[in-house]
Amino acid sequence: MESTLIFFGVIAAIAGYAVMIYNNLVSLKHGVSKAWSNIDVLLKQRHDELPKLVETCKQYMEYEQETLEKVMQARAAVHNAQQQGDMGALGAAEGQLRLGLGNLFAVAEAYPDLKANETFQHLQTRISGLEESIADRREFYNESVNNNNVRIEQFPDLIIARMFNFKAAELLEFSEEEKQDVDLKSLFNG
């Protein structure tokens, strides 16, 4: 009788531990989703602001249509990657958008009337703030992804993760080259 009680006690402890692991993995998975949602909101806000910026610039930049078109193409690529949840494509598209914005603000230096335009200044400040927020949220997202991915590979968590088909999440990364191409902060403060 006593050995049966011990046996069921051990089984109950193992089951309780398995439930605790499962709940922690669920929490990590939802943490990744929440971190992505924070980025998603900022990307949508920036997506909505960019056409206003381009329209403001069009009024002054008669000969810079190619620069404006590149920004809008990059905006579309970011939106498409975002909708598909493709972190690799999103990272590449973000790099192109940052490069396009950097070029746009560099070209804007040659248009004093544009630089003095209150709408342009507001949009420039707003987009700069969104870029900084996206960078901060990307760091938090990648930390959440890393925590999730480490836990589903650690023993004994990997047993529960495999049983319930928990998947690794993809980091949102930019290449070193893309990170160094444009220093938006200096361009916005120029």
In this predicted model, what pLDDT tens digit does every residue of 10-63 receive, in sequence order?
A: 999 999 999 999 999 999 999 999 999 999 899 999 888 888 888 888 777 776
Cis peptide before 112 (omega within 30 of 0): no
**Residue 185 reports pLDDT greater than 60:** no
Say how many CA atoms lie within 13 Å of 127 toward its Cβ.
28
Average pLDDT of span 131-143: 92
Quickly state the pLDDT bin for 120 (edges 50, 70, 90): confident
Give the pLDDT confidence of 78-93 residue by residue, as tens digits.
999 888 888 888 888 8
Q: Which two tokens stand for residue 180?
A: 């160094």
Q: How far apart are the first and last CA of the chain?
A: 81
How far apart (Å, rounded) are the C-alpha atoms in residues 181 and 164? Answer: 42
What is the second-level CATH architecture of the domain 2-189?
A: Up-down Bundle (1.20)
Q: Can you tell me the distance from the alpha carbon of 86 to that of 136, in angstroms, rounded to the nearest whole number?
A: 19
Please say if the pLDDT value at position 183 is more than 70.
no
> What's the chain's average pLDDT?
85
Global confidence as pTM: 0.75
CB 190 within 8 A of CB 121: no
What are the start-end ranges of the E strands in 111-169?
Answer: none
> Alpha helices of the chain — where are they, by DSSP H?
2-58, 65-84, 87-108, 112-116, 118-153, 157-163, 176-181, 184-189
Which burial class, exposed, middle or buried, applies to 111 when counting CB atoms under 10 A from its CB (0-12, 13-18, 19+)?
middle
